[in-house]
A and B are shown apart, each in its own frame.
Chain A
Amino acid sequence: MNVKTDPARMADARPATEKGLVPVHSPIRRNEGMALDPALFEAMDVNLSAAERRAATLTTRRSVKKAWQAAWLVRAIECIDLTTLAGDDTPGRVERLCAKARHPLRDDLVEALGLSGHRLHTGAVCVYPAMVPTAVKALKGSGIPVASVATGFPAGLTPLPQRLAEIRYAVGEGAAEIDIVVTRAHVLTGNWPALYDEVRQMREACGEAHLKTILATGELKTLTNVYKASMVAMMAGADFIKTSTGMEAVNATLPVSLVMVRAIRAYLEATGYRIGFKPAGGIRAAKDALAWLILMKEELGRDWMEPDLFRLGASSLLGDIERQIEHFVTGRYSSADRHGMG
Chain B
Amino acid sequence: MNQIQDILRTMEYGPAPEEDAHVRAWLKRHGGRFGHFIGGRFTRPDGKTFKVFNPSTGEEIGEVAEGTEKDVDKAVKAAASAFAKWSALSGNERARHLYALARSVQKHARFLAVLETIDNGKPIRETRDLDIPLVARHFYHHAGWAELRDEQFPGYVPAGVCGQIIPWNFPLLMLAWKVAPALAAGCTVVLKPAEHTPLSALAFAEICNEAGLPAGVFNIVNGGGETGAAMVAHPGFSKIAFTGSTEVGRIIRKQTAGTGKKLSLELGGKSPFIVFADADLDAAVEGVVDAIWFNQGEVCCAGSRALVQEGVAERFYGKLRERMEKLRVGDPLDKSTDIGAVVAPVQIRSITAKVEAGVREGASLFQPSWAKELSGRPGCFFPPSLFTNVSPASPLAQEEIFGPVLAAMTFRTPGEAVQLANNSRYGLAASIWSQNLDTAFDTARRVKAGVVWINSTNLFDGAVGFGGYKESGFGREGGREGMHEYLTPAWLKKAKPARVAPPLEAPLPAEEGLPGSAPRALDRTVKLYIDGKQARPDSGYSYPVFDHSGKAVTEAGFGNRKDIRNAVEAARKTEGWSGMTGHARAQVLYFLAENLELRGDEFAARLRQATGASPAQAKKEVAASVARVMYYAAWADKYDGAVRGPQPRMLSLALPEPFEVIGISCPDEAPLLSFLSLALPAIAMGNRVVATPSPRQPLAACDLYQVLDTSDVPGGVVNIVTGDRDQLASVMAKHDDIAAHWYFGSAEGSAMVERESAGNLKSTWVNNGKARDWHDPTEGQGEEFLFKANRIKSIWTPFGV
In the docked arrangement, what's the CA distance between A3 and B341, Å?
13
Flag if A8 contacts B11 (CB, 8 Å): no
Q: Which of B278, B280, B334, B336 contacts A50 (CB 8 A)?
A: B280
Q: How far is the CA of A212 from the CA of B145 in the complex (A)?
A: 56
* B532 nearest CB across to chain A (Å): 46
Contact B280 A64 (CB under 8 A): no
Number of interface residues of A (CB under 8 A): 56
Q: Which residues of B contact A9 (CB under 8 A)?
A: 12, 14-15, 330
- Report yes or no: A114 in contact with B5, Cβ–Cβ below 8 A: yes
Interface window among B368-376, B548-556, B584-592: B368-376
Judging by beta carbons under 8 Å apart, are B800 and A45 in contact? no
Which B residues between 265 and 302 are near A, CB-CB below 8 angstroms? 278, 280, 282-284, 286-287, 290
B331 within 8 A of A: yes
B4 touches A115 (CB 8 A): yes
B563 within 8 A of A: no
Q: Are A118 and B5 in contact (CB under 8 A)?
A: yes
**Is the CB of A13 closer than 8 A to any CB of chain B?**
yes
A8 CB contact (under 8 Å) in B118, B284, B334: B334
Contact A1 B333 (CB under 8 A): yes
Judging by beta carbons under 8 Å apart, are B369 and A18 in contact?
yes
Q: Is B722 an interface residue (CB 8 A)?
A: no
- Determine the chain A residues whose CB is within 8 A of the CB of B327 once the complex forms: 11
Which of A68-76, A201-209, A314-322 lies at the binding interface?
A68-76
With known contacts A50-B280, A53-B286, A262-B282, A62–B13 Cβ distance under 8 A: yes
Q: Which single residue of chain A is at the shortest CB-CB distance from B283?
A: A50
**Are A50 and B287 also in contact (CB < 8 A) when A10-B330, A71-B7 are?**
yes
Contacts A10-B330, A10-B374, A68-B7 hold; do A46 and B14 have CB atoms under 8 A apart?
A: no
A64 contacts across to B, CB distance below 8 A: 13-14, 16
CA distance A9 to B10 in the complex (A): 12
Q: Are A63 and B11 in contact, CB atoms less than 8 angstroms apart? A: no
0/1 string, A39-66, CB within 8 A of B gives 1: 0000111111111111001001111111
Q: A8-B15, A8-B16, A46-B283 are in contact. Are A63 and B57 (CB under 8 A)?
A: no
A74–B57 touching, CB < 8 Å: no
Q: Encode contact with A along B395-439: 1 for CB under 8 Å, 0 otherwise.
A: 000000000000000000000000000000000000000010000
Question: How many pairs, one residue from A and one from B, have CB atoms within 8 Å of each other in the complex?
Answer: 158
Q: How far is the CB of B9 from chain A (nearest CB, A)?
A: 7
Task: State in angstroms the CA–CA spacing of A87 and B4 once bound together.
Answer: 39
Expressed in whole angstroms, the minimum distance between the Cβ of A18 and any Cβ of chain B is: 6
Does A305 belong to the interface (CB within 8 Å)? yes
Interface residues on B, range: 35 or more
* Residues B370 and A10 in contact, CB atoms below 8 Å apart: yes
With CB as the reference atom, state the residue of chain A lying closest to B650.
A49
Q: How far is the CA of A18 from the CA of B54 in the complex (A)?
A: 32
Q: Which of A8, A24, A43 contacts B336 (CB 8 A)?
A: A8
- Hey, which chain A residues are within 8 Å of B2, CB to CB? 114
**CB-based contact A222/B801 at 8 Å:** yes
Q: Which residues of A contact B280 (CB under 8 A)?
A: 44-47, 50-51
Neighbouring B residues of A305 by C-beta, 8 Å: 11
- Contact indicator per residue, chain B 321-362, by CB within 8 Å of chain A (1) or not (0): 000011111110111111000000000000000000000000
**Bound complex: CA A13 to CA B650 (Å):** 40
Q: Does A298 contact B (CB under 8 A)?
A: yes
B247: Cβ under 8 A from any A Cβ: no
Which residues from B are CB-within-8-Å of A74? 4, 8
Asked if A18 contacts B325 (CB within 8 A), the reply is yes
Q: Are B7 and A8 interface neighbours, CB within 8 A? A: no
> Is B494 among interface residues, defined by CB-CB distance under 8 A?
no
| B46 CB-CB contact with A under 8 Å | no
CA distance A24 to B10 in the complex (A): 9
A114→B11 contact, CB < 8 A:
no
CB of A11 within 8 A of CB of B14, answer no
Q: Is A119 interfacial (CB-CB < 8 Å)?
A: no
Question: In the complex, which of the residues A10, A47, A60 contacts B373, with contact meaning CB atoms closer than 8 Å?
Answer: A10
* A68 with B12: CB separation less than 8 A: yes
Given contacts A13-B370, A47-B283, A67-B4, 9 further A-B contacts (CB under 8 A): A2-B59, A12-B370, A48-B649, A49-B456, A50-B284, A61-B338, A63-B16, A71-B8, A297-B11
Closest 3 pairs between A and B when the two form their complex, measured CB to CB: A68-B14, A7-B330, A50-B283
Can you list 12 residue pairs at the A/B interface with Cβ under 8 Å? A1-B20, A3-B57, A7-B334, A7-B377, A9-B12, A14-B370, A50-B287, A67-B14, A71-B4, A75-B8, A115-B5, A297-B11
